[in-house]
C-alpha cells in the first residue's frame, strides 16, 4: 500500500494498486517531476484519443457519472462547425465531506493541467479556466502555470478563476455565470453550458478528477485503463472517508471493491457501523447495507443510494436522524435564495427533521416530511432541492426504528452528546 500521512489526512492507495492519481509525497509535484513520469506527452491525434476515452469508459467524477467521451464529443461537434469553444476545469469542491479535488489541485496541479490540455485539444478550445474557491489550490495551479511551457500545453492558454466557497458555487451553470461576471449561483436550464456557456460559447465544464484521468488513458490506452474496476464502472477513483474517531482519509481505489473492506482499511470496525452518508451529502443516507455493497455505481444504485463524488461518511455512534437533520439544516442555509420552492422547501424539511431529532415532532410532521421528499423533487434550478429530498427520503426509509423512537420522545443520550454539526463530517484541511 502506498501511504502518506500528516496530522490531518491519511492518503493511501488500495493495497496492491499502483496509484494513477495519488502520489506518496505530500509536496507539490513540480513540472520536471511530472514530465519524468511521462506527463505532457505529445498528442498525435485528438480524434484517436477521444475514441480511446470512449472505449475506456471514463465516467465523470463530479457526482453524475456522465460518460466523459459523450461530453467531449458534444462540444467538439460545435468546434467542427467553426464555433469557438471553452473548457472549464471545475475544482470548486462544494461538498464539505469531500477533499479529493483540493488534494489534486494542491499536490498534483500538473496532472490536472495535462488532462485539461488533452480535453481542450479534443474540443478545439483555445482557452480554459480552472475554477476554484480554495486559495491554496489556486496558488498551486498558478505556480504550475508559471512552470509549464506553452509548448507543453499545446498552445492552450489557461487562467485561474476564484470564487467564494459555497455548496451551489460548484454547479456547472453557477461556474459559467461566475466566470461571465455574475454571482456563483445556478441558472435555469436550458441553455446548458455545452449550448451556451462562457462568453455565450459552447462550454465544457468538467470536474478536475475526471480531467486527471485523461493523461493515463493517453499514455497507457483504454485496455490498461479498464484493467481496474468493473465493466460498467472502469478504472480507479478517489474516495474521501470520514467518521468514527479517525482522521479523514483520501484513498485511491478500484471501482468495485468491498465497502466493508474500505471501511476496515480506514480503521473503523464494521461492528461499529450503523450506516453512512453517501456521495458527499447528495446521495443521502444508507443503513447497514453499506457493509454489503461494492464501491461502484451499479451496486449502490441497486440499494437506492449512489457514489456521487466518492465521499463516504461512516455513521457509528451518531444518531442517523440527527445526521440527516444537520444536513437538511445545512441545505437550508446554503441554498441559492433564488427559487421559492427550494428556499421554502429546504427550510420546511429542515424544521421538521430538527423537530424529530429533538423529540418534539408529531406524526403529522413526519408525514409532511415524507410527502415533501417526493413532491419537491425537480423544482429548483439546480440539484440542491433534490439533494435535500434524498436526505429526507433516505432518512425515513433507512432508519424507521430511530424515527419511531424519536416520535415517542425517547431521544436518549448519545455517547458524544447530541449531533448538531453545522457541516457534518467536514474535511477542513489537508
Taking only the tens place, the pLDDT of each residue in 300-343 is 999 999 999 999 999 999 999 999 999 999 999 999 999 999 99
Distance between CA atoms of 185 and 172, rounded to whole angstroms? 9
pLDDT at 1: 31
Distance between CA atoms of 295 and 229, rounded to whole angstroms? 9
- β-strand pairing of 249-254 with 236-243: antiparallel
Q: Are 169 and 163 in contact (CB under 8 A)?
A: yes
- From 252, 208, 234, select the one nearest 296 (Cα to Cα): 234
pLDDT at 25: 87
Joined grid coordinates for residue 112: 490536472
pLDDT at 412: 66
Joined grid coordinates for residue 138: 489556486
Strands (E), 14-123: 86-90
What fold characterizes domain 21-225? Answer: Rossmann fold (3.40.50)
Model pTM score? 0.95
Domain locations along the chain = 21-225, 320-407
Which CATH code of 3.40.50.300, 1.10.3720.10, 1.10.230.10, 1.20.1440.230 fits the domain covering 320-407? 1.20.1440.230
pLDDT at 2: 34
Mean pLDDT of the chain: 94
Distance between CA atoms of 411 and 319, rounded to whole angstroms? 10
Q: Which residues contact 218 (CB under 8 A, 6 or more apart)?
A: 41, 43, 49, 52, 118
pLDDT at 3: 36
Element spanning 52, H or E: helix 46-56
Taking only the tens place, the pLDDT of each residue in 142-196 is 999 999 998 999 999 999 999 999 999 999 999 999 999 999 999 999 999 999 9
Q: Are 83 and 198 in contact (CB under 8 A)?
A: no
End-to-end CA distance of the chain: 20
Please tell me if the domain spanning 21-225 has the same topology as the one spanning 320-407: no
Q: Are 355 and 361 in contact (CB under 8 A)?
A: yes
Low-confidence ranges of the chain (pLDDT < 70): 1-7, 412-418, 429-430
Q: Are 329 and 350 in contact (CB under 8 A)?
A: yes
Amino acid at each position: 500500500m502506498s501511504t502518506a500521512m500528516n496530522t490531518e489526512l491519511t492518503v493511501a492507495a488500495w493495497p496492491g494498486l499502483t496509484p494513477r492519481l495519488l502520489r506518496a509525497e505530500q509536496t507539490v509535484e513540480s513540472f520536471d517531476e511530472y514530465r519524468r513520469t511521462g506527463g505532457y506527452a505529445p498528442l498525435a491525434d485528438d480524434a484517436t484519443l477521444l475514441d480511446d476515452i470512449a472505449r475506456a469508459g471514463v465516467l465523470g467524477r463530479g457526482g453524475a457519472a456522465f460518460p466523459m467521451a459523450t461530453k467531449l464529443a458534444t462540444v467538439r461537434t460545435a468546434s467542427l462547425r467553426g464555433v469557438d469553444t471553452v473548457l472549464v476545469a471545475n475544482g470548486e469542491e462544494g461538498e464539505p465531506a469531500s477533499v479529493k479535488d483540493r488534494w489534486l489541485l494542491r499536490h498534483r496541479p500538473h496532472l490536472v493541467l495535462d488532462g485539461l490540455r488533452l480535453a481542450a485539444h479534443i474540443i478545439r478550445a483555445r482557452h480554459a479556466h480552472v475554477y476554484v474557491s480554495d486559495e491554496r489550490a489556486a496558488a498551486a495551479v498558478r505556480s504550475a502555470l508559471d512552470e509549464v511551457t506553452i509548448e507543453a500545453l499545446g498552445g492552450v492558454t489557461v487562467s485561474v478563476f476564484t470564487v467564494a466557497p459555497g455548496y451551489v458555487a460548484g454547479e456547472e451553470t453557477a461556474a459559467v455565470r461566475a466566470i461571465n461576471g455574475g454571482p456563483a449561483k445556478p441558472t435555469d436550464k436550458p441553455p446548458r453550458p455545452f449550448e451556451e456557456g462562457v462568453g455565450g460559447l459552447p462550454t465544457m465544464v468538467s470536474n478536475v478528477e475526471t480531467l486527471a484521468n485523461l493523461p493515463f488513458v493517453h499514455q497507457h490506452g483504454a485496455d490498461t485503463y479498464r484493467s481496474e474496476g468493473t465493466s460498467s464502472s472502469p478504472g480507479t477513483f478517489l474516495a474521501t472517508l470520514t467518521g468514527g474517531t479517525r482522521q479523514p482519509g483520501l484513498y485511491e481505489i478500484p471501482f468495485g471493491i468491498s465497502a466493508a473492506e474500505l471501511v476496515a482499511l480506514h480503521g473503523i470496525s464494521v461492528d461499529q457501523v450503523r450506516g453512512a452518508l453517501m456521495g458527499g451529502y447528495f446521495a443521502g443516507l444508507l443503513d447497514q447495507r453499506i457493509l454489503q455493497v461494492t464501491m461502484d455505481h451499479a451496486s449502490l444504485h441497486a440499494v437506492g443510494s449512489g457514489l456521487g463524488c466518492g465521499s463516504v461518511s461512516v455513521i457509528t455512534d451518531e444518531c442517523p436522524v440527527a445526521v440527516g437533520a444537520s444536513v437538511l439544516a445545512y441545505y437550508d442555509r446554503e441554498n441559492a435564495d433564488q427559487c421559492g420552492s427550494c428556499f421554502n422547501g429546504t427550510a420546511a424539511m429542515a424544521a421538521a427533521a430538527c423537530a424529530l431529532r429533538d423529540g418534539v415532532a408529531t406524526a403529522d410532521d413526519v408525514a409532511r416530511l415524507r410527502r415533501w421528499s417526493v413532491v419537491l423533487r425537480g423544482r429548483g434550478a439546480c440539484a440542491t432541492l433534490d439533494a435535500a429530498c434524498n436526505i429526507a427520503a433516505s432518512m425515513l426509509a433507512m432508519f424507521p426504528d430511530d424515527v419511531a423512537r424519536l416520535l415517542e420522545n425517547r431521544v436518549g443520550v448519545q455517547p458524544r452528546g447530541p449531533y448538531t454539526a453545522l457541516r457534518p463530517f467536514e474535511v477542513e484541511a489537508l
